[in-house]
Structure 1
């Protein structure tokens, strides 16, 4: 099999198709549901440019587009916070936690105006093993999308890990270039020399499964990873380390920029282990950042017209082939 034609990574039109056919129809990992413990707690995020938020209401969670129904302003700034009502900063329209329009100040006399016509647009949400997902217009259930992951980590005590920290990293390359890179270990000797020395690379294995790619390698003494890394369709990852795990969401900013949203979870949350936790986070992020330069330079070569699609390794790039097949199938729908 050959790599995708570079136009798939450089075209703004194809990126718009990605947003419509993939990011608008799939379940997107937002983070731990535990961050929404008290009434009024919210998380506001972007999904490939589309703004949504989830809020803890009196009767449970609610999820909406983060878009004012009046003139389209952003209601809540990206991130986390707490609110009793949802007030648009532009013209001060106010919605309740259930999405109903409560107040329209200084509107004037308009007998045809009905507040009930202007509720916030809802989006779907679901929770799986403590992880919160949202979907703007889901084409399947969350369980169907998770596929083989459900069985793959059935014995992992993920609910016992406590969320501790979120980190965001931004770089100038298409989200598919980064994903191609994540789902193969072929680049490890060249890009991650310290990581290469810390695993038995000759026994590195990549397997494409139902809706996911699993990569494994026996770790040598001293490696913080446990030797198992997973990517799930279409754009999130889960990696295991001693005493915890991390997740990431690969989120396109546009067709040339991507952000990674990493969340770190630990079994031991004691103050005495803070230094060890911070070292684990730093070591994880160091490996991630080592990938950025090759992704940036690959993006430049794809844009230059100097690259023609090359072959994919049957041993090491099975994950790349699987991701690209899923990608093309999604865009044909």
Structure 2
């Protein structure tokens, strides 16, 4: 097994292909559906530069491109909020919650202009076990992409956990480089020494399944993780910790910058448990941040031309090999 050619991590042209072939065609995790409990509640975000939002309407959840049909402005700021109508801040066009155009102020006489021609562009939406996914132009049904995860966490009481917090982290490396890092435990002794001491590393196991990679290791007493970490094609993760789970979406900003959007879900939502929840979140994020420097410096080496593709460990880098196999299936070199 051999690592991908570094051109796949540094080329703007290949990144544009990733956006078209992977991110536009796949189901993308947006967050917790429970955050959109009241009519008008929305979440606005980006999928590899494509602006989208999901809103609770009278008839249920709807998802749209966050793009004005007039001149392409952003309609809703990234984040969450509540709105009764959707008003473009640029020229004040107004859409209803169903995406229909309601008002075009100061337009003038135009016999050819028809309001019904300029509804917002709706995109596909799916809710699975309380998690909200959207797709710009899905290449297949959600269940096909979900793969082995449904059986893997069938007994995990996901619906009983309540969303409590979202965190966003940004770093200067390609999204594929960070994913290579996530789907292997080989780097744990060198990059995460405290984490290494907190698990039985000799029993660390990486298994590639349909559409996912499962990593597991018995935790030692005191570790907040429960010893199972999962990555799902193409770019989201789910990890278990004491009293809850976290998810992340590995979202490319461009060909050499990535954001991680983490959401944390807990069984205990009491005020008394706030300090314990905060510690779990901060401990999780501390481990994540430890990966940034090695990813950033590896990115520089790829860009310098000083690295040629090397071998992959058959024991610890099965997840890397599987991820890269899927990438080759959509055109990676």
Alignment partners' CA distance in 2, 1:153 and 1:143: 14
Deviation at 1:197, TM superposition (A): 0.2
Alignment partners' CA distance in 2, 1:331 and 1:99: 35
Alignment correspondent of 2:88: 88
- Confirm whether residue 129 of structure 1 aligns to residue 137 of structure 2: no
Alignment partners' CA distance in 1, 2:171 and 2:152: 31
Alignment correspondent of 2:189: 189
Alignment correspondent of 1:310: 310
SS at match of 1:253: strand
Alignment correspondent of 1:245: 245
Give the number of equivalent residue pairs: 332
Deviations 1:141-161 (A, max 9, x none): 111100000000000000000
- Confirm whether residue 99 of structure 1 aligns to residue 108 of structure 2: no
- Confirm whether residue 331 of structure 1 aligns to residue 331 of structure 2: yes
Alignment correspondent of 1:41: 41
Unaligned runs of 5+ in 1: none
Deviations 1:111-168 (A, max 9, x none): 0100000000010000000000000000111111000000000000000000000000
Structure 2 counterparts to residues 90-169 of structure 1, below 5 A:
90-169=90-169
Deviation at 1:328, TM superposition (A): 1.3
- Confirm whether residue 59 of structure 1 aligns to residue 59 of structure 2: yes
Alignment partners' CA distance in 2, 1:255 and 1:111: 44
Alignment partners' CA distance in 2, 1:260 and 1:241: 18
> Segments of 4+ in structure 1 off by > 2 A?
none
SS at match of 1:67: coil
**Normalising by the residue count of structure 2, what TM-score does the alignment of the two structures yield?**
0.99
Alignment partners' CA distance in 2, 1:99 and 1:204: 49
SS at match of 2:295: helix
Deviation at 1:33, TM superposition (A): 0.1
Alignment partners' CA distance in 1, 2:101 and 2:201: 58
Alignment partners' CA distance in 2, 1:112 and 1:105: 16
Alignment partners' CA distance in 1, 2:133 and 2:151: 19
- Confirm whether residue 255 of structure 1 aligns to residue 267 of structure 2: no
Unaligned runs of 5+ in 2: none
Alignment correspondent of 1:10: 10
SS at match of 1:312: coil
CA contact (8 A) 1:212 1:230 kept: yes
Deviations 1:189-232 (A, max 9, x none): 00000000000000000000000000000000110000000000
| Cα RMSD after superposing both structures | 0.5
Alignment partners' CA distance in 2, 1:10 and 1:138: 26
Alignment partners' CA distance in 2, 1:38 and 1:254: 34
Alignment correspondent of 1:20: 20
- Confirm whether residue 211 of structure 1 aligns to residue 225 of structure 2: no
Alignment partners' CA distance in 2, 1:271 and 1:89: 38
Alignment partners' CA distance in 2, 1:45 and 1:86: 15
Deviation at 1:331, TM superposition (A): 2.6
**Normalising by the residue count of structure 1, what TM-score does the alignment of the two structures yield?**
0.99
Alignment partners' CA distance in 2, 1:330 and 1:52: 24
Alignment partners' CA distance in 2, 1:133 and 1:72: 24
Alignment partners' CA distance in 2, 1:191 and 1:35: 35
- Confirm whether residue 32 of structure 1 aligns to residue 25 of structure 2: no
